[in-house]
Each structure stands twice: as structure tokens, then as C-alpha cells.
Amino acid sequence: MEFFERFAVPHPSPAIYASMVAIGLTVIGILFGLTYFKKWGYLWREWLTTVDHKRIGIMYLISALIMLFRGGVDALMMRAQTAVPDNTLLDAQHYNEVFSTHGVIMIIFMAMPFIYALMNFVVPLQIGARDVAFPRLNALSFWLFFMGAMLLNISFVIGGSPDSGWTAYFPLSGNEFSESVGTNYYAFALQISGIGTLISGINFITTILKMRAPGMKLMKMPMFAWSALTANVIVVFAFPVLTVALIMMTMDRLFGTFFFATTNGGMDMLWANLFWIWGHPEVYILILPAFGVYSEIISTFARRNLYGYKSMVASMVLISFFSFLVWTHHFFTMGQGALTNSIFSITTMAIAVPTGIKIFNWLFTLWKGKIVFTVPMLYAIGFIPIFTIGGVTGVMLAMSAADYQYHNTMFLVAHFHYTIIPGVVFAMIAGLTYWWPKMFGFMLNERIGKWAFWFIAVSFNLTFFPMFLTGLDGQARRMYTYSESTGFGPLNMLSFVGALGMAIGFGLIVYNIYYSVRYASRDIGPDPWDARSLEWATHSPVPVYNFAITPKAESIEAFWDFKKKGHDLFPGEYKKIHMPNNTGAPFIMSCLFFVWGFSFVFGIWIVAILATLGIFACLAYRSFSKDHGYYISVKEIEETENKLRGANL
């Protein structure tokens, strides 16, 4: 009985019990399907053990889409709860858990994997590489992220969810106010996935700096590759701070230290500083790759080269630098003094300057362009005015004196979503649609895609613009209910209607994928968009070796110049290609990390020690293994190229 009491949810509800049943039935269904269709061997050979950057990118993509809908359900529950005054759909505890997990899932387990999905698939192709620099580490990065996500997602059915917000401020996250294991889940899920992200950062920096095609100097790279480079530099500098902060959180919660306590020499504000030293650069880890996506899409569908290439690169470098100098604006109201507030107010406003440069460059690219209104282009154009509203309200929040009114109100929630949803979610949907034919060899349906865009764009504004008004009128965020006398009811109902509209839009995206899988033409060729960068110079879908002959990039838009000016993009002849072998070690090691994290969450020390030994055994195995990969012969390359060329005629 004690065993079941340890893992019981402290605040069960019918929704939790329904989730338990749904999870159980889903797992049984997956296991039955794999067994019935005899796909266990295929799953292990082709996916669980793959080191191919393209397949890893697709696995990131699938995970991100699942997490998008998981976090979206939380969002709908919040909007439903606040749609009417004095609502009892959720109680206070359940609402705390919902908004806490919503933030963590959307930032860490939806937006981050979506970004790394596109990075994994696109960046090596854009720079003319065979793979990333460290393919095994790339696989380990994905599986560590995945196990971190799964660890957090079992919390609401085993032991209880985090309930102190996605920022996990102390003393709310201490044992005194968070007695359940929910915050332990938070610490170890973020720790495991964060290690994977840090590994990815090192991997992509090395790949971009060391594996570019001949002739592709840094100032000839596509803008998405530049955005990936700057974002991963931020990752390498920011994520170690999160790692240290989470270790200190773990020590406080499990071993009785006082790093973040309000007694015995502890300092709860130390957590706020460490969290936001990581947390605000994290925002730009999300935004910069999105800027790269928009740059690729706008130049492609405006039928013009990107305006102001050098200033675009410079602005991204400046944004990455300033991102580490603004963290204190998250607690202007917490008493650090007028001088400190003034300094960080100035740096916060300053970071808007390079962002504004990028917006003007996109507008100048569109000016006199022959614009084609495809689905990706609609998201790119829709992003500009919506994100501008988010940026302007950000400058309002940057004024430390005015922030005393805005802080901890729904105004701040509206601002954040006006930057992150157009700046990340729109970009990821646009990038998904844009590179989908390169990933899978067919295009998503344009008509359904446009319906989805309009539902999402209109409903987004309907959802979040009323929050500016209720926030200015005093509605506090994180409050699970309010009285009718406040007058917040009608605008909150409007937000709920908008949230339902967004749900319809995302449902249309799912339907579009289903419809296109069944009915879309597979006869689209390697370059259906008439694009400009190197990834479109190879076949769709892409062969395992990416390029039969390593491309030679003599200009910023080598593929465009190859098509329009006759540049020789593939000089030379076929040669045998070296590729890495698949391996199950990253998957096995990540499973041990999952067991390790789960054991620490509940203080099962014997299992934690055994899992730790297993992790070190995997490291030792890799250190002494002699796996030199394999070669693809010239004959195999010729056969593959002839087959793919014939399929794309």
C-alpha cells in the first residue's frame, strides 16, 4: 500500500483519472499496433537507433507537434476557467498545475524541439554537409530531450504536476509551499532535456564552423544557418546557468540545503536572477531561428534576394549579445533600486533596435518584389504587424516606473504571447510547410493551409488582445477566478472564443497533413517553391548522404545562381562517401537518464545509484568502442541517383 501512496496524485480529479485511462489505452494501442504489424524491428533499425540528422529532425518535429497539442489543451482549460466569473471548472490547485505545466511544455518541450527539428533537417543541407559534426551526440541530444519531456508528462498521473509556475520562483518552489514531488519533476525534466540542448548547441556550432561546403564563407551562409549559429552560441553560454540553478534547487529540496531559502543565509532572489540569466536569452534562442525562417521564406516568395544581408547578420549578433544584458527587467518591482532598474530599462529598449532593423529589411525585401502568397508567406507577412505590437508593448514594459502597473497583470501575458506566438509558432508552422516537401517528397495542401492560417491569425488576436485591456484594468495573471463586479467577464469570454478558434486552426493543420498524405502528388521535383538555397539542390526526399557530389558555393545564393546564371554547383565526379553507423547506445543511455531522474524525484536511492552506474557504463562503452562507420560505393550512389532522378522527372 505504501508503494501506491508514494506515487499517488495528491489532488486527483475526474480529468486526472480520465488522463490515466487515456494514457493507458494509448500505450496499449501502440504496443498492439507495433506487434500486429510486425514493426518492432523496423522501429529499432530505422528510428530508435538512427544517427541521420534528417530522421532525428523528423522525430523532433513529431515530438514538438504532440507537445503543442498537449500544451494547447492546458491553454484551453485556462481560458475556459476564466471565461466567466466565479467559475468552478478547475479549483485553485488544479489551475496552478495547469498554468505551470503549460508554460514549461510550450517553451521547453514544444518551441525548443520545433526549432531543433528545423535546424537538424535544414542546416546541414544548407551548408552542403553530409551530416552534423557529431552524429551520435545528435541522437543522444534528441533522446535526452524526449526523456525529459516524458518525465514531465507523467507527473500529472504519477505523483502530481509542478504547481509553482513555469518560473518556479522560491519560496513557492521550496518544500514548505510545494510539498508534492511536482517541483522535483520540474527540476529533473528540465535538467535532462537541458543537457541534451547544451550538447546540440556544441554540435551545431562545430558543424557550421567546420563543415561548410567549399567556397561557403561565413558571410555567404544562408540566413537560417546564421540564425542557428547565433542561437546555439546563446545555448552554450546560457544553459550551464540553468544546469547549476537546477542542481541548487535539487539540493534544497532533497538534501536540506538553503541556497534559495528565506532563512539560514539563503536568498530566494538568487533563484530569480539565475533563472532569468538563462530565461531571457532562452527567449532569443527561440526567436533568432524564427527570424532565419522568415528571412528564407520572404526572399523566396518575394522573388528577391534578401535586402541588407550584412545588417541582418550584424543585428542577430547584437541581439545575441544584448540578450544577456536584460534579465533584471523581469523583476523591476522586486526592489533592486532605481539605478539598476534604469540600466536594465535602457538595455531592454536597446535590444529593440536590431530587431527593428530586421523588420525594415524584410519590408524592403518585399518592396517591389513579385510576391507569391503561399501559406508560408502568409505566416511571414502576418508575423510582421502582430510581432510589432508585441515589440511596442515590450518597450512599454521596459519603462521600469510604468512596469509597476503592468507587472503581474494580463497585460504582460498578452505581450509575451504577441511576441512568442507570431515569433515562434507562426515561424515554425511556416517553416514546416516550406520544408515539408523536402522532408517527405510531397506538398501540404495550400487551400487547407490558408484556411488554417486565417483561423489562427484572427483567433490569436481575438484571444490575446483583450488581455491588454483587462491587464490595464487590473486583472492579475495566475488568478484562477474573479468576481462579476470586476467587469472582466465579457473580454475573458471573448478570449475563450478566440482560443476555440485557434484550436480549430491547429485542427485544420492536422487535417491538412492527413489529407496531403493521402492525396497530394508525389511528382513535385526537388525544388517546388523555386527557392534559393542549397537544400533545394538535392532530391526530395533527401538521400541518406544528402549530396552525391559536395556542392561548391561561390556566392550567397549558390543554388539560385546555379539555376539562373549557370554556375557549376557540383564540380567533380562521384566518389565513395563515408557515413556513420546507426547505434542504440544513445537511446539506451537516455532510458537510463529517465530512470535516474524518476528515482531522484521520489528519492529511490538504490535505483538512482544503479542508473548512475549504467550511465557511466554507457560512456565507458563509447570510449572503448571502435566503430568507424561505413562507405557508400560509387555504384550504389549512381543507382540511388538514377532512381531518385527518375522519380523526380
Cα(106)–Cα(73) distance, rounded to whole angstroms?
A: 11
Packing angle of the helix pair 53-81, 135-153 (nearest 10 deg): 20
Which residues share a beta bridge with 409?
Answer: 476
Residue in the block written with cell 493507458: 24
Which residue spans within 458-587 are E strands per DSSP? Answer: 577-579
In this predicted structure, what is the pLDDT of residue 4?
A: 66
Which residues share a beta bridge with 578?
Answer: 631
Cα 199 from chain centroid (whole Å): 15
Q: Which residues contact 568 (CB under 8 A, 6 or more apart)?
A: 552, 562
Instruction: Please provide residue 630's backbone torsions phi and psi, each rounded to the nearest 5 degrees.
Output: -145, 170
Instruction: Please provide residue 18's backbone torsions phi and psi, each rounded to the nearest 5 degrees.
Output: -65, -40
Question: How many residues would you count in the chain?
Answer: 649
Nearest 10 degrees: CA dihedral of 66, 67, 70, 74? -160
Cα(430)–Cα(162) distance, rounded to whole angstroms?
A: 32
Is 306 within 8 Å of 223 (Cβ atoms)? yes
Instruction: Please provide residue 74's backbone torsions phi and psi, each rounded to the nearest 5 degrees.
Output: -60, -45
Residue in the block written with cell 519590408: 363
Is 90 within 8 Å of 81 (Cβ atoms)? yes
Instruction: List the grid coordinates of 86.
Output: 466565479
Q: Which residues contact 503 (CB under 8 A, 6 or more apart)?
A: 72, 76
Instruction: Please provide residue 409's backbone torsions phi and psi, each rounded to the nearest 5 degrees.
Output: -115, 175
Cα(52)–Cα(204) distance, rounded to whole angstroms?
A: 14
Q: For the whole model, what pTM was predicted?
A: 0.96
Cα(519)–Cα(646) distance, rounded to whole angstroms?
A: 21
Cα(465)–Cα(511) distance, rounded to whole angstroms?
A: 28
Cα(126)–Cα(411) distance, rounded to whole angstroms?
A: 40
128 membership: H or E segment, kind and range: none
Pairing of strands 630-632, 577-579: antiparallel
Tell me how far apart the terminal alpha carbons of the chain are, to the nearest angstrom. Answer: 66
Residue in the block written with cell 538568487: 270
Cα(379)–Cα(301) distance, rounded to whole angstroms?
A: 12
Cα 620 from chain centroid (whole Å): 31
In this predicted structure, what is the pLDDT of residue 127?
A: 96
DSSP labels, 549-585: S-----STTHHHHHHHS---SS-S----EEEPPP-SH
Cα(350)–Cα(181) distance, rounded to whole angstroms?
A: 41
Report pLDDT digits (tens) over 480-513: 999 999 999 999 999 999 999 999 999 999 999 9
499 membership: H or E segment, kind and range: helix 489-519
In this predicted structure, what is the pLDDT of residue 1?
A: 41
In this predicted structure, what is the pLDDT of residue 172?
A: 92
Q: How many degrees, rounded to 5, is the angle at CA 172 between CA 166 and CA 175?
A: 115
Helix (H) and strand (E) counts in the chain: 23, 2
Nearest 10 degrees: CA dihedral of 391, 394, 398, 401? 130
Going from N- to C-terminal start, the domains of the chain cover 1-37, 38-583+627-644
> Does the domain at residues 38-583+627-644 carry the CATH identifier 1.20.210.10?
yes
Cα 8 from chain centroid (whole Å): 31
Buried b (16+ CB within 10 A) or exposed e, 131-156: bbbbbbbbbbbbbbbbbbbbbbbbbb
Is 412 within 8 Å of 478 (Cβ atoms)? no
Low-confidence ranges of the chain (pLDDT < 50): 1, 649
Cα(452)–Cα(449) distance, rounded to whole angstroms?
A: 5
Q: How many degrees, rounded to 5, is the angle at CA 419 between CA 319 and CA 460?
A: 160
Cα(526)–Cα(503) distance, rounded to whole angstroms?
A: 33
Instruction: List the grid coordinates of 357.
Output: 532593423
Is 128 within 8 Å of 212 (Cβ atoms)? yes
Instruction: List the grid coordinates of 99.
Output: 498554468
